[in-house]
Amino acid sequence: MDSKQLIDIVAEEIGINNTDADGLYSALAMTIRECADELATVAIPGFGNFSTIKRNEEIVVNEQGQKTLLPPVIEMSFTPSILLRKKMIG
């Protein structure tokens, strides 16, 4: 399922038109981006947490013994909530 399908379903569920739903979705994506820039964690009850982790530069060695210095990177990770995890495991 993609975001467009989700927006259509949600717009119908909460009783708003698709234009407003598109605007709300854009605002949601933008807010999550801003939170990621701030290295903040976004908590969605019943779904999980979006958090950003900064990994420092590191040296990796391949099979031939060649060392490579990797630059630092900020990764966005998702941790499912306990409820969602239980549902998924069944």
Using CB under 8 A, pick the residue from 17, 18, 33, 82 that binds other proteins.
Answer: 33
Q: Which of residues 45-74 bind other proteins (CB under 8 A)?
A: 45-48, 50, 52, 57, 59, 65-74
Query: Cα(35)–Cα(16) distance, rounded to whole angstroms?
Result: 26
Residue with tokens 């779904």: 47
What's the rounded Cα separation, in Å, for the pair 3 and 84?
20
Q: Which of 17, 18, 23, 82 binds other proteins (CB under 8 A)?
A: 23
Binding status of residue 43 toward other proteins by CB under 8 A: yes
Contact 18, 9 (CB under 8 A): no
18 binds other proteins (CB under 8 A): no
